[in-house]
Every structure is written in structure tokens, then in C-alpha cells.
Amino acid sequence: MKKTLNKTTVCIAVITLAALAARILCCFWGRPMILHPDEPVIVNEVMDMLSRHSWESFRYDRPDQFEIKCDAILFTIVSWIKYGMPAYTAASEHRMAFFMLGRAFTAFWGTALIPLSAAFCKRLCRNKEINSDLVQISAAVLTAFASIFVQHSAYVTPDIVLTFFVFLFAYFCMRYIDEGKLSDLVVCAISTGIGITIKYPAAILCIMIAFMIIYRAIKEKKYIHIIQYGASSIVLILAVMFVIVPNLFTDIGSVIEEIHQQARSGHLGADGLGLFGNMWFYFTTVAENIGWISVIPFAAGLVWLFRNPSSSNLSLLTGAVFWFCLSVMPLHWVRWGIPMYIFYFIVTAIGIGACLKWSKELIAVKKVPGKICLTASCAVLALLYLNSGLSAAAITKLSLKEDTRLTAAAFCEENGITKNNCFYEGYTPFAPYSAIQGTGFFFLTEEGINVRTANAAKNYFMMSSSFSSRYYAEPERYKNQIAIYNGLNERYKLIYEAYPDGNYIQKPWAAGNIVYSLSYLINNSGLAGNEMYIYEMQPEFVSIASVQQSGQYLSITKSDKGSYASLSSEKMSWCLSDTELGGKAFGYSTSSWVLDWTSSPLFLSKSSGAETENWELVQDGNIYYIVNANNMALTCDENGITLSEFVSGSNQQWIIETEQP
């Protein structure tokens, strides 16, 4: 027995070290850019908190507080040791180093899940006629090498960290249900408190705390424990939360507001399925991640658990409760389900042991199907192990590939494309982790698409397929957005495109994915990331000359109170653009400031699409009158530029000349 235990321990240790290596390598994803939209949320908040010399972080959306506080301690220690200065000072020159530290912090918890899953299975399978060593190793393999766990263990995000504490809760929940030790309940309460400071859905664990307290109280006939232990657990959970993030209590209004915001139903491409649709989404996500063939041992595991009932099995309800409660929410997202996916792995691992046991029992009584079942069980086991291992290796390779955002950035640098002369979507070089949606920069007319005034003077537009792919996935719902993306190709010149021919797109069937993964590992060397496109815009720049005052041009006078329209002998470029109201706007050079007719003298305002920046050009031969919605025309008088009633006067006449690009 000792020999077997040692072999199992060594095997799990090797699996854990291999998984740690994969996770650490994945931490190098995207360097030197920060590509994940959620990572700066945590790292920037850490730096802000440290720069204020405070323990209070004012982020309440997820709320990420446990990671923020732990990273603050980690960053401070490492920064003083390595750089001899505070982290918030060192961050200006060594920003990526702190992101790597944050990723390593997540990788630690992702790796710690592996021996914890084995320990969970060891206790769950004790005193049962099933191969505990095989179940432990299977759980460790699936937790270690499921591609979604490998990938998300290398991000400065909360999901893997939350998963550890949810699963730690389940482990000590099992111990408390079995033995009723108060110390195990204390660990459950602490895990819950920490979990809530990571992500609010961890409050779901309170349901399990109530269940296990009631279960033990009824079993022991000590009903007073329901009140005593229930109240004590609530106090302990709140105390843990207060120690980590006191302002969750002192600024409860902001917390409630953020929770309401996070529960919205308008997240692009991730809503509308309903309860059962969301439940199916999460189930298929985890099943496809390790291969649909895993459904066989998963079903066998459920059968085994029902045929071999025990109090320990009740701890698995933690995953079921999470599955149901998260599915009630109007949104669904792949990574939100990570805390429940590990329970799928546990049940699947139990099913592997059960299938082999049943096969051997059939062989023992000399029934023909026994050998067939044993062969099939071994084949399923081999497919799951091999598929998980190769998927992990492929995800690791993907994380080390060059991203299309880097190649697009190089093109921009070579061709003089900058933030000043380009407007752009999120997940592009100028906004690598920002969720800016490009369709908002354009509007539709019967003739096609036009750029909104704020960006009409820009020479380039850069987009990523990150958003367009979500729109195209729901064509009926996003007709206008799709029309805008289609209109880009019809109206503007595409000058750059990059295709991620090196992405790893995991297949749902294990056998096919094994072949695909091997091919990917051996042959694929392309780019990773999203499709990247850069369009050349055609901004129209004009000069506006006064007819009455020869040699004088519409220009700008700057003062301490702002910028105002004036006349000048120096010709100035105005960006002439169409507006959604059917008129024209006059943009100041390449900025987003436009000529506004709110008051006289006329001034420049930040473009907002308001009627006060909309003008009508009334043409008479080569002469133009520039008129607003109140029938007031742009006029020259002794005081400079003003507005007066449109009467086709000579002082209201202008010559608008297009400038050559």
C-alpha cells in the first residue's frame, strides 16, 4: 500500500511540475504588449493604491480585491529587492515585469488546484471499492492540462484564484459534513469571505454553508447549532471581507451600484440564452474542452455516486449550486464557469475508476463484454489523457506566438500611422486591451457609411475582428453594425491586413483534436490573435475665403477663454465632413474640435454630433453661404466673424476650396 501511495504521490508531483511549467510559459503571452482587457484593471489599481499609501482600493465591479491586496504586497517586496524603490515608481520603466508577477501569482493558484483535486478525490473515494489512485491521477491530469485552466492560469484575472477557494471550500465542506469539526466550518467560512472579495458570485457558497450546518445539526440532533454556527459563519465571512476590503462596507452604495451594473443583460454576444440555455452552454464548454468523449466517464461517475451514496458525495453539490445560480444570470461567459468546471473533472475521474472496476467485475465472472468494456475504458482513458496533454502543449505554444497586434504596430511605425492621425477599435495596437467598439465611429446613410465628425479629419481607421466576429455571429440582431463593417470595404481603401493563421482552435472531439494538436505542435508557425485591418480614410480639407474681404480666410483666434472664429491672412485647413443631421461640420485641423454656432462670437467645441455644429452649405455658382438651422449665416463685419440673418449679403459669401492631399 505504501509503495502504491508513493508512486501516486510522485506521479501527481510530476504532473503538477509539468503543469506549472506550462503555466509559467503561458505568462509570456503577448510580450511586450499587455493584451488582456482585464489585467490592467488589477495591476493599475494596485499601483494607484500603493501610490496613495493606502489599503483601500476603490474598485467594486468584480471586485478583485483579494488579488489587488496580495499583488500589492508581492509587488512591493519584489520591487524593493530588485529595483530598490516602490513598485508604483518602478512601474514607469518596468511595467511588464509587474504584469508578469501578477500572472505568476495566478499561476500559483492554478497549480495549487492540482494537488488539491487529487486530495479531494482521495478523501471522496476512501472506503469505497474503487481505484483511488487512478481517480486521483485522472483528476490531477484533467485539472493540470485542460486547456482552459492552463490558459487562464496565466492571466492577471480573478477566475482561477476564485476557483481555488471555491474548491478549497468544497474540500472542507466534505470534511465538515463527514465529521462535523468546527475547524472545517471555519475554513469554509474563511474561503467564502475571500471568494466574495474576488468575485461576488462566491456568495453562492453561503447556500452550501447553510445546507451543511443544517445537515449536521439534524444528524447530531443539535438544532441549536443551526443558529449558533449559522450566525458565527456569517460574522466570520463578514470579518474576513472587512479585513481584506473595509470599504465594501463603508461605501456600500458604490458596491450596490456596481453589482447592478454587472448584472446587466447587454454584453455583446453573450446574452439571451435563458436559464437552461446558459446551463447547456457551461456544460458543453467544459465537455468540449477535454473532449466530448468525457461525457461517457462523467455519466458513469454520476451513476457510481448515486449507487454508492455517502455524506462525502454531498460536497459535489457545491459545483451543482454554482452551475444553477450562475446560469440564472442573464449573461454567460466561458471563463465565468471555471469554478464549476473542476467539479466536472472530479466526476469524470470517478467515472474512469468506475468503468475500469465494472469491466474487471465482468471479466471476473467470465462475461464476454468484460474485455470489450475494459478495452473501451482504457481507450477512453488514453484519449482523455493524451488529448488534455496535447491541448495544454498547444495552448502553451499559442501563448508564445507573436500576436497580430505586434505586427500591426510594426506596420504603423514604418508607415507613419500614429494615435494622432488614426482612430481605432479595441484590441488593436493603439488600444491592445481596450473594448472600444468601432461601429460607433460611423453612421449609415442611404448612400453608405460616413465617419462621425469627431474623427473625420483622421487619415486611418484600424479595426480588429474581435468585435466584428461577434456581430456577424448574430446577423439579425446586429444588422446596422454589420452594414457598417461591410461599408468599410465598399468605401475605403484597405492598406493593411493580418490574419492569425497560427491560432489554436480546439476541436470538440478528442480523437480529431489529438491529430490536430500534433499537427499544430509540429508544423504551425503563423501569427496568433485577431484579424487586423487598417483602412485609409479620405478626409476632405478645405480653406474658406471671404469674398468681400479679399485675401482673408476663416481662421481661429486663441485666448485664455478658448478658441474663436476670426479672419486671418493665413490660409487655414478645415476638415469638411457630413453629419448625421444631413448637413456639414467644420473640424479644426486634425482635432475633434468643430465650429459651433451656440453663441457669437463663434467658438470651437468638442464634437458631440449636436445640432449646433451642423451647417448647411447654400451654393450659388462658386459662392457659398454657410447657414445654421436658425437661418443665421456666417458673416464678416467690422468685429470679425459673427452670425446674422441669412440675406445673401456680400459679407456672407465664401469661397470654399478643396485642398490637395
Q: Is the pLDDT of residue 2 over 50?
A: no
Distance of CA 331 to the CA centre of its chain: 13
Kindly give, in sequence order, each residue whose CB lies less than 8 Å from that of residue 505, ignoring residues fewer than 6 positions away: none
Q: Alpha-carbon distance 45 to 189, whole Å?
A: 27
| Residue 302 φ/ψ region, left for φ over 0, alpha for ψ in the -120 to 50 degree band, beta for the rest | alpha
Listing DSSP states for 104-149 in one string gives HHHHHHHHHHHHHHHHHHHHHTTTSSS-HHHHHHHHHHHHHH-HHH
Listed residue (410, 437, 413) closest to 423, CA to CA: 437
Q: What pLDDT is recorded for position 559?
A: 65
**Residues whose CB falls within 8 Å of the CB of residue 447, separated by 6 or more in sequence, listed in order:** none
Does the pLDDT at position 490 exceed 70? yes
Query: Residue 335 phi/psi, 5° resolution?
Result: -75, -20
pLDDT at 266: 58
Average pLDDT of every residue of the chain: 91
* 580 in Cβ contact with 573 (< 8 Å): no
Provide the β-strand partners of residue 450: 443
Distance in angstroms (rounded) separating the CA atoms of residues 236 and 186: 8
Q: What is the mean pLDDT of residues 79-91?
A: 95
Could you tell me if 430 and 460 are in contact, meaning their C-beta atoms sit under 8 angstroms apart?
no
Predicted local distance difference test score (pLDDT) of residue 391: 96
Please give the C-alpha separations between residue 608 and each of 437, 587, 592, in angstroms, as whole numbers.
17, 12, 9
Length of the chain as a residue count: 661
Question: What single-letter DSSP state applies at residue 167?
Answer: H
- Confidence (pLDDT) at 264: 58
Query: ∠302-510-28 over CA atoms, to 5°?
Result: 105
Confidence (pTM): 0.87
Strand residue runs (E) in 601-653: 603-606, 616-620, 623-627, 632-637, 640-645
Grid coordinates of 627? 447657414
Measure the CA–CA gap between 232 and 7, rounded to whole angstroms. Answer: 42
φ, ψ of residue 532 to 5 degrees: the values are -125, 135
Q: What pLDDT, in 10s, does the model give residues 182-202?
A: 999 999 999 999 999 999 999
Helix (H) or strand (E) holding 587: strand 584-588
Range with the poorest average pLDDT among 259-263, 501-505, 525-529: 259-263
CB 632 within 8 A of CB 643: yes
Grid coordinates given for 218: 439534524
The most confident of the ranges 304-308, 330-334, 432-436, 598-602 is: 304-308
Tens of pLDDT, residue by residue over 375-417, are 888 899 999 999 999 999 999 999 999 999 999 999 999 999 9
Between the CA atoms of 37, 472, 151 and 137, what dihedral angle is there, to the nearest 10 degrees? 150
State the cell numbers at 621.
455658382
Q: Right CATH number for 540-658 from 3.30.470.20, 3.40.605.10, 2.80.10.50, 3.90.650.10? A: 2.80.10.50
3-state secondary structure (DSSP) of residue 184:
helix
pLDDT tens for each residue of 213-268? 999 999 989 889 999 999 999 999 999 999 999 988 888 877 777 776 665 555 55
476-497: b or e for each residue (b if 16 or more CB lie within 10 Å)?
A: eebeebbebbebbeebbeeebe
Question: What pLDDT, on a 0 to 100 scale, did the predictor assign at position 333?
Answer: 86
CA 609 to centroid of chain Cα atoms:
30
pLDDT range class, residue 556, cuts 50, 70, 90: confident
Nearest partner of 101 among 186, 197, 160, 28, judged by Cα: 28
Residue 141: CB partners within 8 Å, gap ≥ 6? 15, 384, 385, 388, 389
C-alpha–C-alpha distance, residues 636 and 619, integer Å: 18
If one compares 442 and 538, the residue with the highest pLDDT of the two is: 442
Nearest to 444 by CA among 506, 491, 388, 393: 491
- Looking at residue 330, what DSSP letter applies? S
Cell of residue 142, nine digits:
484533467
Whose cell is 454656432? That residue is 597
Written as one letter, the residue type at 619 is: Q
Is 607 exposed, middle or buried (CB count within 10 Å of its CB: 0-12, 13-18, 19+)? buried
Give residue-wise pLDDT tens across range 119-151.
Answer: 999 999 987 788 999 999 999 999 999 999 999
What's the alpha-carbon Rg for the chain, to the nearest Å? 31
Ranges of H-type helices in 203-294: 205-220, 224-244, 247-250, 252-262, 274-290
Is the pLDDT score of 3 beyond 90? no
pLDDT tens track for 587-630: 987 778 899 988 778 888 888 888 999 999 999 999 999 999 99
Nearest partner of 383 among 141, 193, 68, judged by Cα? 141
Could you tell me what percent of the chain has a pLDDT over 90? 69
Whole-number pLDDT of residue 52 = 94
User: CA-CA distance, 607 to 195, in Å (whole number)?
Assistant: 44
Across 516-525, average pLDDT: 90
User: Does residue 649 register a pLDDT over 70?
Assistant: yes
- Residue 368 confidence (pLDDT): 64
In whole angstroms, give the CA distance from residue 257 to residue 249: 13
In angstroms, how far is CA 278 from the centroid of its own chain? 18
Q: Burial, 551: exposed, middle or buried (Cβ in 10 Å; 0-12, 13-18, 19+)?
A: exposed
What's the mean pLDDT in 559-568?
Answer: 79
Domain ranges of the chain: 2-399, 404-536, 540-658
Alpha helices in 474-509 (DSSP H): 479-491
